[in-house]
Amino acid sequence: MPEPNSTAPTDGSATASDDVEPLDEPGGDPPGSDAPLRRLTPRQARRVRILLSAVVMLAVAIALVVRLGSAPSVLTVGFYGIALILSGAAIGLSRRGRTRVATGVLGLGFLLVLGGEWLLRG
């Protein structure tokens, strides 16, 4: 007998989909299985990008100090300075909710430093 608030057909012709929840649904995974990872909320994504930008900024600052200790150069300061500025811009963009743009800016800064280092050494 169907429950009073159920949406099952009352003629007794219940289908298989009425009783069984599909396994690809979020709540349909059996216990102990490898459930798909959940996506980040926008707030979590902003926090991750801000943290990542801060870590990159710290790494660039340390690399700048090391490079200046070994071979002081205006170009080195320029490349690393631009990377620091772009990391700061990525933090600002992340705070405003532009996490994808911030990731692109952060990647661009990282590639800029790598390319500049390669050009300086070559």
pLDDT in tens, 21-73: 444 445 555 555 566 778 889 889 889 988 988 998 898 889 889 888 887 78
In this predicted structure, the answer to whether residue 83 has a pLDDT above a threshold of 80 is yes
Check residues 85 and 11 and name the one with the higher pLDDT.
Answer: 85
What is the identity of the amino acid at 4? P
Give the count of beta carbons closer than 10 Å to the beta carbon of residue 91: 21
The pLDDT value given to residue 62? 92
**Which two structure tokens, joined as six digits, stand for 27?**
């709540």
CB-based contact 91:54 (threshold 8 Å)? yes
Question: What does the radius of gyration of the chain's CA atoms come to, in whole angstroms?
Answer: 26
Cα(36)–Cα(23) distance, integer angstroms: 11
pTM for this model (two decimals): 0.60
Q: Is the pLDDT of residue 12 over 70?
A: no
**Residue indicated by tokens 């205006």:** 74
Burial class (CB in 10 A: 0-12, 13-18, 19+), 109: buried
The CA distance from 100 to 9, in Å, is 47
Q: Give residue 121's pLDDT band: very low, low, confident or very high (50, 70, 90).
A: confident
